[in-house]
């Protein structure tokens, strides 16, 4: 297994001992309203997220004008083409200064997905803390090469990808020379069903590339994210909304503020639970042994010279006597002093 290199996204340090980086994917859930985008940033911070993420594009960056509107989203039905649908979701570039200021004032990282070289350059100049490459652009080598040269950490999702495509994508980013990369295990299904999650790939990707590996989770609950962290994911991305019932295309599978808060708290707990303390014998429960463990005790008063029989011995709490593993060893031995009921049996009682 290749060794993961250390780097940071804003204030979050990525290394073997780091906590999980939690990204609130606001994406298109601003619904074209700047005030909603700002409120989502505020709510993400209040819920404990480390970063917010948006999508930076123009309709011309994504799709031909003659393509029909996508069938998978109810809100797309009112548009004649995919181009018109994409245009309705695009976030104006003049929003970014205030969104980035707001994010940084709340001590979070600002991340966005550039869907063109122009967008990548714009984000780099605007002060974004990292670039996120969407699954759809794993094969977009010109965009990847540009993103790799912008001297920003890059997060890249693996949805729909074959391994050879990931190899090519990472090479285009500059890997292995460039190592400030977070590789997100991802299934491009919305929402994601648990049986399709294939979370075992988290370890496989880490072993193959030696990069920080995370999980871009499109399921409607937090269970898969929790499982991913227990398997070594160092970044979790979840879509985020103010209300699942809003009409935009991504709200229904997004987390609401309380859901995001639960995610943050749960991951913090799991991070603590799976962290290796560096020793198999460094046990914080060691002081409980006397109370909880059994040992050999006398079942009755015994006089000097008595040869111990099974009826004389009890295996009960607390631990003060010999371990139960010595039960057979003491049966048949002669006691060399008078002893009282409940007294622990120690080697001293057999000494002459």
Using alpha carbons, select from 198, 194, 200, 119 the residue that is nearest to residue 152: 119
Q: pLDDT of the chain along its 352 residues, tens only?
A: 566 668 999 999 998 778 999 999 999 999 999 999 999 999 999 999 999 999 999 999 999 999 988 776 666 667 889 899 889 889 999 999 999 999 999 999 999 999 999 999 999 999 999 999 999 999 999 999 999 999 999 999 999 999 999 999 999 999 999 999 999 999 999 999 999 999 999 999 999 999 999 999 999 999 999 999 999 999 999 999 999 999 888 999 999 999 999 999 999 999 999 887 777 777 888 899 999 999 999 999 999 999 999 999 999 999 999 999 999 999 999 999 999 999 999 999 999 7
Q: What is the DSSP letter of 188?
A: -
Alpha-carbon dihedral of residues 332, 335, 336, 339, nearest 10 degrees? Answer: 180
Contact criterion met (CB below 8 Å) for 253 and 221? no
Q: And the tokens for 319?
A: 């631990």
Contact criterion met (CB below 8 Å) for 128 and 147? no
Q: And the tokens for 56?
A: 């930076």
Per DSSP, helices labelled H in the chain are: 34-47, 59-62, 82-89, 96-105, 117-126, 141-149, 163-173, 201-209, 223-230, 257-274, 289-292, 327-330
List CB contacts of 77: < 8 A, sequence separation 6 or more: 69
- Alpha-carbon distance of 259 to 48, in angstroms, equals 11
Contact criterion met (CB below 8 Å) for 219 and 192? yes
Structural domains of the chain, with CATH: 17-274 (3.20.20.70), 286-350 (3.90.1210.10)
């Amino acid at each position: 297994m290749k060794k993961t290199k250390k780097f940071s996204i804003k204030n979050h340090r990525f290394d073997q001992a780091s906590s999980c980086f939690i990204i609130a994917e606001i994406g298109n859930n601003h619904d074209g309203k700047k005030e909603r985008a700002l409120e989502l940033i505020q709510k993400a911070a209040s819920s404990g997220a480390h970063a917010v993420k948006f999508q930076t594009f123009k309709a011309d960056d994504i799709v031909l004008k003659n393509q029909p509107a996508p069938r998978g989203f109810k809100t797309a039905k009112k548009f004649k083409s995919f181009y018109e649908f994409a245009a309705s979701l695009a976030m104006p570039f003049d929003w970014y200064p205030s969104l980035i200021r707001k994010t940084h004032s709340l001590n979070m990282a600002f991340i966005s997905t550039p869907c063109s070289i122009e967008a990548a350059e714009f984000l780099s100049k605007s002060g974004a803390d990292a670039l996120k490459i969407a699954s759809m652009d794993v094969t977009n080598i010109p965009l990847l090469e540009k993103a790799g040269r912008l001297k920003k950490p890059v997060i890249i999702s693996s949805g729909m990808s074959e391994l050879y495509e990931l190899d090519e994508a990472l090479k285009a980013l500059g890997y292995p020379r460039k190592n400030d990369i977070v590789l997100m295990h991802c299934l491009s299904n919305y929402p994601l069903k648990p049986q399709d999650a294939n979370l075992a790939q988290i370890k496989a990707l880490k072993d193959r590339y030696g990069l920080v590996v995370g999980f871009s989770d499109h399921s409607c609950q937090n269970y898969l994210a929790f499982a991913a962290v227990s398997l070594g994911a160092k970044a979790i991305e979840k879509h985020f909304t103010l209300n699942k019932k809003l009409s935009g295309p991504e709200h229904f599978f997004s987390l609401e503020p309380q859901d995001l808060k639960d995610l943050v708290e749960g991951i913090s707990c799991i991070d603590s639970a799976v962290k290796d303390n560096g020793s198999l014998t460094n046990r914080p429960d060691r002081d409980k042994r006397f109370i909880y463990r059994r040992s050999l005790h006398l079942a009755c008063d015994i006089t000097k010279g008595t040869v111990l029989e099974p009826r004389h011995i009890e295996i009960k709490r607390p631990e003060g006597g010999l371990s139960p593993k010595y039960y057979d060893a003491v049966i048949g031995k002669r006691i060399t002093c008078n002893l009282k009921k409940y007294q622990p049996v120690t080697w001293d009682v057999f000494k002459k």
